[in-house]
Amino acid sequence: MTNQSVIFFDIDGTLLTHEKELPASTKEAIFKLKELGHEVAIATGRAPFMFEDIREELDIRTFVSYNGQYVVLNGEVIYANPLNIPALERLTEKALLNRHPVVFMDHEDMKANVPEHAYIRESIETLKINHFPTHDPNYYKGRDLYQSLLFCPEGEEKQYEQEFAEFDFVRWHPVSVDILPKGGSKAIGIEKIVERLGFPKERQYAFGDGLNDLEMLSAIENSVAMGNAEDRVKKAAKHVTKSVEDNGILHGLQMVGLL
């Protein structure tokens, strides 16, 4: 394994452009990595059902989803960290009073606690996926949920952060925030995979651009921030490549010597 590495890629703003397109140079680079014997994996905040097409197109069977809460190695679930349901129920009650919708998410589907809301449509549509949450206010009952979405304008999540210590809140859209188990992160999900695969720290790589990549980029020795990332994200990474639209993945892989 001395010449092989494991490389984790975020999706939105990293593998995919802001128009949700996969650059040809990125696809070619991924398959070249695989030809060279490297392990290629995804590390995303998305639900598993939100990137089935990408996994199929790139022939990837190992991934960290829900920002580390649902981890699959070669098609097998090896780690799952569900939300605290009683606390989520209390949060949902408060959110209803504030007219802030909530979407419940497990590994198979997502359901909204309200029939319709502009914030849900506005944010989910930016992902350009085939799934859209339908209405089921009781979806949280009797099942494991790995992430929820709280829909509110920037700054209004502070009240939830102060009251619900069971969760971490990570904003991914001007009107939407991820609700995660406290302390959960992509870094923890990645750790579960590399423990199984046995790659040393110097053979671990990660590419990302968002605030939910901070822990991953800080923890991985050979981390690469995209050129389109915020300054805070770039500072967390060891390297900074070009933007996703400017063949950033290919450039970054060449920069760190993998291609």
The pLDDT value recorded for residue 2 is 61
Which is nearest to 224 in space by CA: 49, 3, 8, 40? Answer: 8
Task: Determine the 3-state secondary structure of 77 from DSSP.
Answer: strand
Helices (H), the chain: 24-35, 52-58, 85-97, 118-125, 158-163, 186-197, 214-219, 231-236, 248-255
CATH number of the domain encompassing residue 198:
3.40.50.1000
Last residue of a domain, one of 181, 198, 231: 181
User: How far from chain centre, in Å, is Cα 72?
Assistant: 13
Ordered per-residue pLDDT tens for the chain, 259 residues? 468 999 999 999 999 999 999 999 999 999 999 999 999 999 999 999 999 999 999 999 999 999 999 999 999 999 999 999 999 999 999 999 999 999 999 999 999 999 999 999 999 999 888 889 999 999 999 999 999 999 999 999 999 999 999 999 989 999 999 999 999 999 999 999 999 999 999 999 999 999 899 999 999 999 999 999 999 999 999 999 999 999 999 999 999 999 9
pLDDT of res. 97 = 97
- Which of 222, 216, 170 minimizes the C-alpha distance to 190? 216
**Confidence (pTM):** 0.91
Which strand ranges, in their side-by-side order, compose the sheet holding 39-43? Answer: 76-80, 70-73, 63-65, 39-43, 6-9, 204-208, 222-225, 239-240
Rounded to 5 degrees, φ, ψ at 67 are 55, 40
Catalytic residue annotation: 10
Domain range for residue 119? Answer: 85-181
* CATH code for position 125: 3.30.1240.10
pLDDT of residue 148: 97
Q: Is residue 1 part of a domain?
A: no
Are 205 and 258 a contacting pair, CB within 8 Å?
yes
Shared domain check, 161 and 74? no
